[in-house]
Amino acid sequence: MSSPTQLSSSSPISQLSVEQSANAFSLIFPLTATQFVASPTPDSASYVAYEDTGDPGNNLPTLFFVPGIGELRQTFRLIAPHFNREGHRVLCMDLRGAGQSTANFKSYTPEDVVTDMIQILDHAQIKSPVVIIGNSLGGASANIFASRYPEKVHSIIMLNGVLRDAPSDKFLRPILNLLFLPIWGSSAWINYWKNLFKKQRPVDFDSYATALKKNLSEPGHLYALKKFATATKASAWKCIPQVTCPVLAIYGSKDPDYSDPFKEPEIVRPQYVNAKLFKSELMDGLGHYPYVEEPEKVIKLISEFIY
């Protein structure tokens, strides 16, 4: 892959050239370097990868981006740079067993992601409350994190957060075990992943899909994806009443991960009995990755919420 190119702050995201966007796949922030932190303990032989733009020396909150399963930290490539240009310190992590993180962990659950998040914040020496921006399973982990460490969280932004187990999950798990067999697992996942974009695809869609499939083909990555996909999210749902920070929940109206995306906000809302604020936004016609399909709109929603 060719060397990264700094995305121009003056160019609208929708007008990024294929070359710019594809090159940005290597590093979201080309002037930084990938960091590696041992987890679940500092003496572990397993590592989680993340990018950190560094302390800008201001009072703006740090933004901590957490991807969902089967994804890379580069999933946030179209929105994270904007907030760094606005003066925020930005962290973007790879889940364990994905991206540049190692795949030698013993467990892959939403709770494990919380453990990795703590290790990253300690490694980055971040003491002030952060804005956690989580997609899918990353949204579940964000809530667990906020319930355990309320003093560390400024607010939560959920991008199609999946907070509970669907009734069909127990029937789907045996099918998932077959789906993730090495003989066809990475291809099967990519075909499913492509169907999660419902309205439009970014200019670098094909190159990103190729890189994503290649990463899934690395030893242990498909196994990690399967374990995350079959892990229960019951603890995330149970902990929501303990969340006290403001919460913004963004949904795509055509996300197949929900039985009814239109009802999802109203199912979730009553759980946040102690949150300072719960706000939801349903984005018409979008799928599981609204921040990739319409990044400018998602940037606006996030900006209006955290400022």
pLDDT at 165: 86
How far apart are alpha carbons 236 and 203 in whole angstroms?
A: 34
The pLDDT > 90 percentage for the chain reads 77
Helix (H) or strand (E) holding 215: helix 205-216
β-pair partners for 66: 134
pLDDT in tens, 59-112: 999 999 999 999 999 999 999 999 999 999 999 999 999 999 999 999 999 999
Q: Which of 53, 116, 135 is nearest to 87 (CA)?
A: 53
Helix (H) or strand (E) holding 205: helix 205-216
How far apart are alpha carbons 67 and 185 in whole angstroms?
A: 20
Helix (H) or strand (E) holding 157: strand 153-159
pTM recorded for the entire structure: 0.89
What's the Cα-to-Cα distance from 65 to each of 45, 94, 272, 298, rounded to whole Å?
24, 9, 22, 14
Look at residue 15 and tell me whether its pLDDT is greater than 50.
no
Q: Which residues contact 29 (CB under 8 A, 6 or more apart)?
A: 51, 53, 80, 81, 84, 90
Q: Which residues contact 71 (CB under 8 A, 6 or more apart)?
A: 95, 98, 135, 136, 212
How far apart are alpha carbons 265 and 251 in whole angstroms?
A: 8
Give the confidence band of 31 by pLDDT, cuts at 50, 70, 90.
confident
Mean pLDDT of 215-238: 93
Mean pLDDT of 237-253: 98
What is the three-class DSSP state of 119? Answer: helix
How far apart are alpha carbons 307 and 303 in whole angstroms?
A: 6
The amino acid that residue 18 corresponds to is: V
The amino acid that residue 212 corresponds to is: L
Mean pLDDT of 175-183: 63
Cis check: omega of the bond before 30, within 30 degrees of 0: no
Domain ranges of the chain: 13-306
Q: Which residues contact 163 (CB under 8 A, 6 or more apart)?
A: 139, 140, 143, 233, 236, 237, 240, 268, 271
Mean pLDDT of 195-222: 94
CB 164 within 8 A of CB 236: yes
pLDDT at 171: 44
pLDDT at 2: 30
The pLDDT > 70 percentage for the chain reads 86
Lowest mean pLDDT among 48-52, 71-75, 192-196: 192-196
pLDDT at 1: 30
Give the confidence band of 26 by pLDDT, cuts at 50, 70, 90.
confident
Could you tell me which CATH class the domain 13-306 is placed in? alpha beta
Look at residue 6 and tell me whether its pLDDT is greater than 70.
no
- Taken in order 136, 22, 194, 253, is the CA torsion positive or negative? positive
Segment of 32-36, 148-152, 167-171, 220-224 carrying the highest mean pLDDT = 148-152
What is the three-class DSSP state of 93? Answer: strand
Q: Which of 139, 176, 144, 179 is nearest to 160 (CA)?
A: 139
